Amino acid sequence: MSDADRVRIAAVCGAMSRESRTRTALSVALEGASEFEVETRLIELYDYDLVILGSVAPEDYPPDVSRFRQEVEGAHGILVATPEYYGSLTGALKNALDLIGADALRGKIVGLIGVAGGDTGAINSLNTMRIICRNLHCWALPQEVSIANSSSAISEDGAISDQALHERLLEIGRNVARFTILQQRVRQEEFMQLWEGLPRW
């Protein structure tokens, strides 16, 4: 298989902090994806000099904006994880998704993970990300992972002692890989024609 044919899975981490439990969770999911014959890549927002969408004319964007966009666009399947911030995804992740835009994500398989400090978990972030995915025209898998009580669920050194949670994270990564591989096997053109024929918002 040539590099061009290889299925690529990117994982976008919505946390800006370097010590992040969200990143730990996402890395486990990426490990699940890598059980398949796919190329995986962890994308950290702090590695890119991004701008707030609308604050700068596109011709004045720093080169990192297109580097970031290309790296996401180059992936066939995506994992997205966010910390829950006041009942939603982080502003940094929302802005990053705005910058990426629908053209780069349309038709792609997406797996969603949310990480919250409180008891109720990250359901609100996950629901909001699902709405965003719908508007970006991507396929959010019905399965998702909501992590509650993040500081006890994921230790400071990155250990996840709850085996069921660890397995759920591996499985969402595996499913993104499985469904992306299946999707890539269908002729891309045919898939896009079917997809484009669906009603728009």
Distance separating alpha carbons of residues 97 and 84, to the nearest angstrom? 16
Instruction: Name which of 26 and 78 has its Cβ closer to ligand FMN.
Output: 26
- The DSSP line for 16-79 is -SSS-HHHHHHHHHHHHHTTSSEEEEEEEGGGS----TTSS-GGG--HHHHHHHHHHHT-SEEE
- The correct pick among 85, 97, 136, 170 for binding ligand FMN (CB under 6 A) is 85
Part of the chain binding ligand FMN (CB under 6 A), chosen from 20-28, 31-39, 158-166, 186-194: 20-28
Based on the shown chain and the rule CB under 6 A, indicate whether residue 101 belongs to the binding site for ligand FMN: no
- Shortest spacing between CB 159 and ligand FMN, in angstroms: 14
Q: Give me the 149-168 binding string for ligand FMN, x by CB under 6 A, dash otherwise.
A: -x------------------
Number of residues interacting with ligand FMN: please give it, by CB under 6 A: 15
According to the binding rule CB under 6 A, does residue 94 interact with ligand FMN? no
Distances (CA, A) of 97 to 80, 90, 159: 10, 11, 29
116 scored as a contact of ligand FMN (CB under 6 A): yes
**Shortest Cβ 34–ligand FMN spacing (Å):** 21
The C-alpha atoms of residue 137 and residue 101 are separated, in whole angstroms, by: 10
Answer for which of 10, 11, 22, 30 binds ligand FMN (CB under 6 A) is 22
